[in-house]
Homo-oligomer: A and B are copies of this chain.
Amino acid sequence: MSEVGIILGSDSDLPKVKKCFQILDEFKIGYEVIISSAHRTPEQTKQWVSGAKDRGIKVIIAVAGGAAHLPGVVASYTLLPVIGVPVETNLSGGMDSILSILQMPGGIPVAAMPAGSAGGMNSALFAVNILALNNETYYKKLLEYRENMKTGILKKNDLIAEKGLMQYIKELEK
């Protein structure tokens, strides 16, 4: 069963949030994915969102760029937590997406994530933060995940010490 519902305004945004899917897979959390636009398929969007709770969905991730109304529109149809991911655009690297998702009016909250690939990644992790409140397994995996991030960084310092700084940089520049 899916605990997370992911809705994207365009299928071209799928690769931009690939890490979102990978993290949910890694945590073995079921999720649904739908391509549905706030503007081009408003009925499909409403229907999918309105039924989400009954289908067992607990958190919704909405991904959009430009005017990026999708997360806000989703939030208008549900009381589940809605996480908004702004897609990078040519306008200052996504300032339009960011402001449209962030600046929601008082009363209808959306949780804005960073623009770009960090947004996809953090949307999944934030969903797990929420789900872990009532799921010890997820909580333990989160602890592990964070521990692994730490170890990864520590190992890089070992590697730099081993190879020498300038050699390490040279290899990165390749």
Interface residues, chain A, CB within 8 Å of chain B?
A: 9-12, 14-15, 18-19, 21, 33-42, 44, 46, 58, 66-69, 72-73, 75-77, 79-83, 88-96, 98-118, 121-123, 125-126, 129-130, 132-134, 139, 142-143, 146, 149-150, 153-154, 156-157, 160, 165-166, 168-169, 172-173
Contact = CB atoms under 8 A, between A and B. Distances in A.
A23 B94 CA distance: 27
Given A14-B172, A35-B157, A77-B42, A116 B100 contact: no
A122 to B, nearest CB: 4
Given A96-B102, A104-B114, A104-B118, 20 more contacts: A11-B172, A14-B168, A15-B169, A36-B157, A44-B150, A67-B69, A79-B129, A79-B143, A81-B130, A81-B133, A82-B129, A83-B111, A92-B92, A102-B115, A106-B118, A106-B121, A107-B146, A109-B129, A112-B113, A134-B134
Contacts of A134: 133-134
Nearest to A112: B112
21 contacts: A11-B156, A21-B165, A35-B157, A38-B69, A38-B73, A44-B154, A66-B114, A67-B103, A68-B103, A69-B72, A81-B129, A83-B111, A88-B90, A91-B95, A93-B93, A100-B100, A102-B113, A102-B115, A107-B122, A109-B123, A130-B130
